[in-house]
Amino acid sequence: MKGFAMLGIGNVGWIEKNKPFAKAFDAIVRPIAVAPCTSDIHTAFEGAIGDRKNMILGHEAIGEIVEVGSEVKDFKVGDKVIVPAITPDWRSIAVQQGFPQHSNGMLAGWKFSNFKDGVFAEFFHVNDADMNLAHLPKEISLEQAVMLVDMVTTGFHGVELADIQFGSTVVVIGIGPVGLMAVAGSKLRGAGRIIAVGSRPICVQVAKSYGATDIVNYKEGDIVRQVMELTNGMGADRVIIAGGNSNSLSNAIKMVRPGGAVSNINYFGEGETLPVPRLEWGSGMAHKSIRGGLCPGGRLRMENLSNLVKYNRLDPSKLVTHVFHGFDNFEKALMLMKDKPKDLIKPVVILD
C-alpha cells in the first residue's frame, strides 16, 4: 500500500509498505477523511519525538472498516468509524490509575505516527477496536467528525484540566484549532469572560464566534500586561495554554490569580527546562496549580464528543478552512499546516 511518511527528520515523501493485518482484537481501517496536525509538523520537521525512518504520518482520521479480528464484537466490515488520535491499551495499569493516555509508558497511548504507522495511508491498523473506535453517527459530517478525534478532545481537555467554574475569567493563549476548541469548551463549561490570545484575523473572528469576549494580540505588546489591564490587575481565574512560545508557561503563571489554575495542552519544543517565575508563583506559595496533559482518546470519549455535535451544542466545522479531495492531496494539506498561511485554520482531505 501507499503512505505519506516521515523519511527522517526534515524529510517527507510517499513510500510503499505492506498492508497491516488485524490480530484478534484489532481492526484495519481505510481512511475516508483525514487532517494533518501541528504535531505532525513537530514530528516530521522538528524531530519532536526523535528520529523515525519511513514512518507514515497522520493521526486524525474517520474511516471505513475493511477487516476485523476474531474477537471484535461491536464493529464489522463496512462500518464507518471515528478513530481517536489516542488509542490506549485498555488492559494496562495506567488505565486503572485513571490515565489511559499513558498506557504502557508516558504518552504511549499516542500510537499513530509515533510508535506505529499513521493514517495517511491506504489502510491503517487500530488496536483494541471495541474500546477505541466509535460508530460515526449519520447526523455528523465528515468535516465535523474528523475535528473530534484530536482538536476537540485536546481543546476540551485544556478546559477539563483548568477546572473552569461558572462565571470564571479564562485566558486561552493561542487560538489555532486547538485553542479555538478550548474557547468553545470554556463557553460550554460556563466561563464568564473568555480572553483569547492570537493574531490572525480569521482565528480572531472564529474565536469570537465560539465565545471569546476579548481578544489580546500578542504582536501588540506583552500579553501579561494586556491581560492584567483587562482584569484591573486581578489576573484570570484560569489560563489554558494552547500555543505561543517557551515563555507561555511563565506568562500564564504571571497572569493567573492566586488560587487559580494553569492548564497546558501545548507542545513545548525547546529547552531543557521551562521557567516558573518565582515571585508571581508566590515564591512557591500562591496556590497556583499547573497541569498539562495529552488529550484523552478511546471510544467513550469519541461517543460523548459526537453527542455535542449531534445535539447542536458544538459545530467544529468552523475550524475547517480548506477541503481537498483525493489521496494525492495529503502532502498539500500537510504543507499548509507547516506554512500556516493567513487564511488557514485547519485543512481536511476527503477520500471519496
Closest CA to 120 of 42, 15, 46: 15
Cβ closest to ligand NDP, residue 68 vs residue 173? 173
Residue 186 in grid coordinates: 470554556
Q: Is residue 48 a contact partner of residue 88, using CB atoms and an 8 Å limit?
A: no
CA distance 269 to 267: 6
CA distance 58 to 348: 12
CB of 119 to Zn ion, least distance (A): 11
Q: Which amino acid is at 71?
A: E
CB of 352 to ligand NDP, least distance (A): 26
Cβ closest to Zn ion, residue 143 vs residue 150? 150
Q: Which stretch binds Zn ion (CB under 5 A): 38-46, 50-58, 123-131, 179-187?
A: 38-46
Cβ closest to Zn ion, residue 103 vs residue 153? 153
For binding to ligand NDP (CB under 6 A), which residues are involved? 37-39, 42, 150, 154, 173-179, 197-200, 203, 218, 242-245, 265-267, 294-295, 340
Q: Which amino acid is at 78?
A: G
> Is 39 a binder of Zn ion (CB under 5 A)?
yes
Task: List, in order, residues 6 or more apart from 347 with CB less than 8 Å away.
Answer: 35, 36, 320, 321, 322, 323, 324, 332, 333, 336, 337
Q: How many residues bind Zn ion (CB under 5 A)?
A: 3
Residues in the chain, overall count: 352
Secondary structure class of 174 (helix, strand, coil): coil
Site string for Zn ion, 236-255 (x = CB under 5 A): --------------------
User: Which residue among 26, 67, 89, 150 contacts Zn ion (CB under 5 A)?
Assistant: 150
Alpha carbon of residue 1 to chain centroid: 27
CB of 305 to ligand NDP, least distance (A): 14
Strand partners, 299: none
> Is 110 a binder of Zn ion (CB under 5 A)?
no
Write down the number of H helices and E strands in the chain.
Answer: 11, 16
Residue nearest to Zn ion (CB): 37
CB of 152 to Zn ion, least distance (A): 11
Residue 199 interacting entry, from ligand NDP, Zn ion, none, C-beta within 5 to 8 Å by type: ligand NDP
